Structure 1
Amino acid sequence: MPTVLTMFGLRVVIYPNDHRPAHVHVQGKGYEAVFHLNCPDGPPQLRENYGFSQRELGKIAAALVKNLALLCAQWRGIHGYF
């Protein structure tokens, strides 16, 4: 499972055998959240949350917005489509 970005001690992961639509798994501190990227223009949208607080989710979402172009390029590099 490729880690495509790290932020705040969390890993942003894209699974190579995953499905559309383009999304990332954010993992760390024993928690996980899944965000649809809505490539190429965003914004990322929370799909699932397992443990992160609303404050943490806001911080994560803001970081994903800042890195959207990179994350969409990584998804396309792994899967070849959005």
Structure 2
Amino acid sequence: MEKFNSKLYLENCYIMQENEKLRKTAEILNQENQALLIELQKKLAAAAAATSGSSIPDLNLSAASTATKSSKTSKK
């Protein structure tokens, strides 16, 4: 019975470590998501101001800078 309890204890420790890693990853992804949302809102506002007569905004105003930012944050 002790052997079984030890095995469960070690498995529980491993699961807690993995959970902590996933929590940190989720936190980073949430921060990136918030940053991208803010950037999108800025682009939509800029597009709406630039094209007051057009109903379809151009979301590709700075696609290259977005890709660069995403690749930099992914490498952390």
Give TM-score, length-normalised by structure 2: 0.30
More RCO (CA 8 Å, sep 6+): 1
Greater C-alpha radius of gyration: 2
**Could you say which structure has the higher strand fraction?**
1
**Could you say which structure has the higher helix fraction?**
2
